[in-house]
Structure 1
Amino acid sequence: MNGQNAKRIFFICLGVCLFLVLYYAPQFSSAVDPSGKSFELSQQGKAAIGLFFLASIWWVFEVTPIGVTSLMIGVVQALFLIRPAKEAFRDFMDPTVMFILGSLLVGLAFTKSGITKRIAYKMLVVVGEDTRKILLGVFIITALLTHIMAHTAVAATMFPILVTILALYNGDNPEGKPTKFGKALFIGMAYTAGAGSICTLLGGARNPAAVGFYTEFTGKQISFVDFSVHLAPFGWASVFLIWALLMIIYKPEKAKIVGLREKATAEYAKLGPINSKEIFVSFVVAFALAMLVLQAIIPALKTMDRSVPLLLAGVLFFLSKVLSVEDLEKRIPWNIVLLFSGAMSIGFCLWQTGAAQWIAIKWLSMIAGAHWLVFLLAVCFLVLVMTNFIMNVAAIAITLPVALVMAQYLGVNPELVMYGAVAMAGMPFLLLIGAAPNAMAYESKQFTTGEFFVSGIPASAVIMGVLVIMTFTYWPVVGMPALLR
């Protein structure tokens, strides 16, 4: 047995043991809220906490495909009578999961039609040869694309374009020896893919997942427009601050890339005139986005789930043969879709069994009397750390149910907690496993894991600073005070 397999077996057993220990553990003491009300932790709640630990360990150390771990979440709930199988697996087809699938289909259609390459090459023609402007242009295009595509799809689309830019920069260095420009280019792509992805519900799975939990716990809906109004300024402030930070850490060796504009012009010319497929995809996506936006102002559309426009777009792409059955079978990351399904199931399990409320009140007693800002920063820092170790949607599923319960006892606006957590979950700047764009950027071989981590420390500090500024300035102006009245 090699060391890697032994490590895998160890973590499989560790997760199972933790679950069984909690499942068979004696009854825990009651949690008492500030009003003196007592909350017992049921056997099902105790088992839900054990399942949370099991899933977390398996997700973090990837002892099996992450989608398989999600299937295990449903199986264990039914097998150990934590929740009925019908409830446990119903969450796997939650409308939030369907929204995520729809966003993946939209991103795939954009890539297959060639729209993303057309946008990127046109950007290079516009920004010219100044390396600082090139980096800023790349970051802006990356962030813009994440408004309508999952950030993983955006990173996959941008990567070959960045390789071309780097080759032109290297010139007499065809071996691709790491450069400061290369480090800034690829690390910045990963960071800004995360920053841009918090601006709309389409940017990443953790966005609709968080909104789904918020709606489940509060009964209030968050529209597509509401989400963007609150988080788009946060995301774009982060994009420009990241660019400024990387210009300090990795100032490019060259001021210009000679010949880049001509190369971009030639590549754009190869794409030819805008074709009917691109026009059709643009029209369908624009129609779907319009429906999402109009939900906020047209009463008849408010009852329509936000997954419907994107799924309708996906159906139209298949009917028009923009997408094929091969795309459905081979290019949709079903492993990731299952991850989202399992994350929703474990999150609702913690809530419905009372485990989330019990944990929240126990945790609350540890920070009794703390200022509301301390609570907010503690929650957001926890999400920021967790999302560097596990998939961000899992970090949201684990943290948000507890944080939303705690917020009501401290009188903190749950919207503030939700938006702050989403922002942090979208920007794991420390470890490669925190997000797919991080790992994709590493494939460039322009930086080491240590360099990525060191760069991520000030970048993470910057976004925590943006959080504090938004909390005291912009968010109250748009009708989201920190405290409930």
Structure 2
Amino acid sequence: MTTGNTDAAKTQLDWKRILFILIGLTLFAIVNFSPAWPDAVDPTGKHFMLSAQGKGALAIFLLAGTWWVFEVVPIGVTSLALGALQVLFAVRTAKEALKDFMTPSVLFIFGSLVIGMVFTKTGLTKRLAYKMLAVVGEKTSMIYLGCFVVTAALTHIMAHTAVAATMFPLLMTIYAMYTDEPGPTKFGKGLFMGMAFVAGAGSIVTLLGAARGAVAIGFFKDIVGKDISFFELSYYMFPVGWAMTFILWGFFMILCKPEKKTIPGIKEKAKSLEKAMGGITKQELLAGGIIFLAIGIMSIKQFIPAIADLDKNAIMLVATVLFFIFNILDIKDLETIPWNIILLFGGAMSIGFCLWETGAAEWLAINWLTMFQNANYFVFILSIAFFVMIMTNFIMNVAAIAISLPVALVIAPYLNVAPEVILFASLVTAGMPFLLLVGAAPNAIAYDSKQFTTGEFFMYGIPASIILMVLVAVSIFMWKIMGMPITTV
């Protein structure tokens, strides 16, 4: 009887999978083969036509969202489908669509995952985990908080992708001390999803947390003619990023309340396990030296003109090569890299560039923001933040900002809205894509824990995104008190 029930469940699950495969394909067909859509018109009266290629990009965009959320096939395989569809339906050429699968950003994620492997293999992860547990103690609520605070703090000095790759093996070690039982738990869901969410929250505080801040500020300077300094960004973003970090701690304590209030004896066990590891080895020192040298160069290069042009992706790849030169990693380690995650981001880059290059993203932005051109300034600012939040779950956050900022800055003078608040509100939501794994590398890295499905991530992300929008609304008034111009009158 048990076997029969299991078979029935599998059959039901297969039908559900087939249903969502068909929904994705149906959405694609309806949009791709529909008649031409109306032009988007900006406040100056300029028309933006949606080309057949742009419509095809939107069709693939809808299929991607459906298949990624419901995980009808492995997420990396969905990404491969996106590249193939662009070519088959003449949205972009094979060279344009498929080269995005190995862009510098994808290689940076590859390098970040390698760093996580090195932490695990050398034992550095266990040392860090044991030290953290010795500090935070036995309460699972404090373990949550300790992990979230460390994650957020690290994103102030290094890219959030690298932070997530560093924290992931540490969290795996902590989780192994929580339970030996197979399968996901509430504590596991909160620990790994929380790490991903908090990595985004912390990364908005400085320019070092992600590339989006520096690119958006440069873009802002070109349009508005004003510059935003490193410290000005941190001044306004610090309270927002840390407020969201502590809010997320409460959020996961409620929705993913650990099954155990404490892990009895974990503090003493952590101390004894650390002692049993003995002194730090030469391999650990060498690995740590390579990792922190790479992170250090990426963190300080913008302040030193002589190395300012060093590319962060090249730095990560040099570090990767050094791990193999010094026999810290070998060919077997290379074969265990989660290529599903790398393919996921290759597909995300491909569909992002596809929407950008075909004009589909700009068409969407203009249609969305012009609906609010006669709205109250407060509603208009929130509409921009909301658009960026949705788009950054599907495409690069830099692209989401670059698409929406020009349109927003054209409309802003009509509503007497200051450009600074538009920039900062956009940067807040661009840093926290809580709905889809493709929104940010930490999301995908956390998924490798197998503690949650893409559908669960999406469902937890809905209330988290609502909280984020409420925080943006509150931040507008807080920024005004802190001295940021909100209106021009």
**SS of equivalent to 1:424:** coil
Aligned match of 2:4: none
Matches within 5 A, 1:208-219: none
Pair 1:273-2:279 in alignment: yes
Aligned match of 2:433: 425
Q: In the comparison of the two structures, how many residue pairs are matched?
A: 454
User: For 1:415-445, what per-residue CA distance to the aligned partner results, in whole angstroms no more than 9, with x for missing partners?
Assistant: 435522333215889xxxx7664784857xx
In the TM superposition, residue 376 of structure 1 has moved relative to its aligned partner by 4.2
**Is the 2:126–2:173 contact (alpha carbons within 8 Å) kept by the matching residues of 1?**
no
User: For 1:218-261, what per-residue CA distance to the aligned partner results, in whole angstroms no more than 9, with x for missing partners?
Assistant: 79899999998876654433333444566788999999766443
Which deviates the most, 264-273 or 13-22?
13-22
Aligned match of 2:353: 348
Aligned match of 1:20: 29
In the alignment, the residues of structure 2 paired with residue 254 and residue 345 of structure 1 have an alpha-carbon distance, to the nearest angstrom, of: 43
Alignment equivalent of 2:90, drawn from 81, 86, 100: 81
In the alignment, the residues of structure 1 paired with residue 195 and residue 277 of structure 2 have an alpha-carbon distance, to the nearest angstrom, of: 26
1:255 and 1:305, CA in 2 relative to 1: closer, same or farther beyond 3 A? Answer: closer
Which deviates the most, 263-272 or 359-368?
359-368
Which deviates the most, 118-127 or 35-44?
118-127
Aligned match of 1:112: 121
Pair 1:157-2:163 in alignment: no
Aligned match of 1:446: none
Which deviates the most, 101-110 or 404-413?
404-413
Using structure 1 for the length normalisation, give the TM-score.
0.76
**SS of equivalent to 2:120:** helix
Supply the RMSD in Å over aligned alpha carbons.
Answer: 4.5
Aligned match of 1:170: none
**Is the 2:163–2:199 contact (alpha carbons within 8 Å) kept by the matching residues of 1?**
no
Pair 1:325-2:331 in alignment: yes
In the alignment, the residues of structure 2 paired with residue 378 and residue 54 of structure 1 have an alpha-carbon distance, to the nearest angstrom, of: 25
**Is the 1:77–1:83 contact (alpha carbons within 8 Å) kept by the matching residues of 2?**
yes
1:246 and 1:13, CA in 2 relative to 1: closer, same or farther beyond 3 A? Answer: closer
Matches within 5 A, 1:20-39: 20-39=29-48
In the TM superposition, residue 307 of structure 1 has moved relative to its aligned partner by 1.0
In the TM superposition, residue 175 of structure 1 has moved relative to its aligned partner by 9.1
1:308 and 1:40, CA in 2 relative to 1: closer, same or farther beyond 3 A? Answer: same
Aligned match of 2:59: 50
Using structure 2 for the length normalisation, give the TM-score.
0.75
Pair 1:360-2:365 in alignment: yes
In the alignment, the residues of structure 1 paired with residue 107 and residue 481 of structure 2 have an alpha-carbon distance, to the nearest angstrom, of: 32
In the alignment, the residues of structure 2 paired with residue 249 and residue 31 of structure 1 have an alpha-carbon distance, to the nearest angstrom, of: 41
Pair 1:194-2:202 in alignment: no
In the TM superposition, residue 34 of structure 1 has moved relative to its aligned partner by 0.1
In the alignment, the residues of structure 1 paired with residue 33 and residue 181 of structure 2 have an alpha-carbon distance, to the nearest angstrom, of: 58
**Is the 1:70–1:342 contact (alpha carbons within 8 Å) kept by the matching residues of 2?**
yes
Aligned match of 2:424: 416
Q: Give the letter aligned to residue 14 of structure 2.
A: N
Aligned match of 2:267: 261
In the TM superposition, residue 315 of structure 1 has moved relative to its aligned partner by 1.0
Pair 1:8-2:17 in alignment: yes
**Is the 2:39–2:50 contact (alpha carbons within 8 Å) kept by the matching residues of 1?**
yes
Aligned match of 1:307: 313
In the alignment, the residues of structure 2 paired with residue 427 and residue 14 of structure 1 have an alpha-carbon distance, to the nearest angstrom, of: 19
**Can you give the 5+ residue segments of structure 2 that lack an aligned partner in the other structure?**
1-9, 413-418, 438-442
In the alignment, the residues of structure 2 paired with residue 219 and residue 92 of structure 1 have an alpha-carbon distance, to the nearest angstrom, of: 31
Q: Give the letter aligned to residue 403 of structure 1.
A: S
Which deviates the most, 257-266 or 351-360?
257-266
In the alignment, the residues of structure 2 paired with residue 223 and residue 71 of structure 1 have an alpha-carbon distance, to the nearest angstrom, of: 40
**Is the 2:116–2:165 contact (alpha carbons within 8 Å) kept by the matching residues of 1?**
no
Aligned match of 2:415: none
Matches within 5 A, 1:392-411: 392=393, 396=397, 402-404=403-405, 406-411=407-412
User: For 1:51-107, what per-residue CA distance to the aligned partner results, in whole angstroms no more than 9, with x for missing partners?
Assistant: 212222222222222222222222222222222222222222221112111111112
User: For 1:163-209, what per-residue CA distance to the aligned partner results, in whole angstroms no more than 9, with x for missing partners?
Assistant: 42x46xxxxxx999x9xxx95686255324421344349x9xx955x
In the TM superposition, residue 4 of structure 1 has moved relative to its aligned partner by 3.1
1:256 and 1:109, CA in 2 relative to 1: closer, same or farther beyond 3 A? Answer: closer
1:310 and 1:423, CA in 2 relative to 1: closer, same or farther beyond 3 A? Answer: same
1:230 and 1:325, CA in 2 relative to 1: closer, same or farther beyond 3 A? Answer: farther
In the alignment, the residues of structure 2 paired with residue 26 and residue 460 of structure 1 have an alpha-carbon distance, to the nearest angstrom, of: 34
In the TM superposition, residue 267 of structure 1 has moved relative to its aligned partner by 0.8
**SS of equivalent to 2:432:** helix
**SS of equivalent to 1:2:** helix
In the alignment, the residues of structure 2 paired with residue 58 and residue 455 of structure 1 have an alpha-carbon distance, to the nearest angstrom, of: 17
**SS of equivalent to 1:89:** helix
Matches within 5 A, 1:132-281: 133-143=142-152, 149=162, 151=164, 154-164=167-177, 166=178, 187=190, 190-200=193-203, 207=210, 234-243=240-249, 259-281=265-287
In the alignment, the residues of structure 1 paired with residue 221 and residue 95 of structure 2 have an alpha-carbon distance, to the nearest angstrom, of: 22
**Is the 1:151–1:197 contact (alpha carbons within 8 Å) kept by the matching residues of 2?**
no
Q: Give the letter aligned to residue 358 of structure 1.
A: W
Which deviates the most, 126-135 or 291-300?
126-135
Q: Give the letter aligned to residue 293 of structure 1.
A: S
**Is the 1:74–1:342 contact (alpha carbons within 8 Å) kept by the matching residues of 2?**
yes
User: For 1:320-354, what per-residue CA distance to the aligned partner results, in whole angstroms no more than 9, with x for missing partners?
Assistant: 12122222112x21111111111111111111111
In the alignment, the residues of structure 2 paired with residue 211 and residue 300 of structure 1 have an alpha-carbon distance, to the nearest angstrom, of: 22
**Is the 2:75–2:344 contact (alpha carbons within 8 Å) kept by the matching residues of 1?**
yes
**Is the 1:198–1:207 contact (alpha carbons within 8 Å) kept by the matching residues of 2?**
no
Pair 1:96-2:105 in alignment: yes
In the alignment, the residues of structure 2 paired with residue 115 and residue 456 of structure 1 have an alpha-carbon distance, to the nearest angstrom, of: 35
